Amino acid sequence: IHLHRHVFELLSLSGTGATRGILKDTVLVPARGEAAVEFVADNPGSTLLHCHQQNHMDLGFMMVFRYA
């Protein structure tokens, strides 16, 4: 998963809670896995969140969100 215009703190990856403090803008989430992240919304506007695997983007795993 890739978040444009921001970095996030990776809190856990598929239940491993040992990742606190790691700042990233991309994380590889395993199949049927999950990632818990926190980010500071300090860059208002439209932001893209998407998977870096092209076939996933082709199937719609991409979104734009906006905040003010």
Q: How confident is the model at residue 35 (pLDDT cuts 50, 70, 90)?
A: very high
Domains and CATH numbers, the chain: 2-67 (2.60.40.420)
pLDDT, position 19: 74
- pLDDT average, residue stretch 45-55: 94
In the block, tokens 């590889």 appear at 28
Distance of CA 40 to the CA centre of its chain: 13
Q: What is the pTM of this model?
A: 0.82
pLDDT class of 28 with cuts at 50, 70, 90: very high
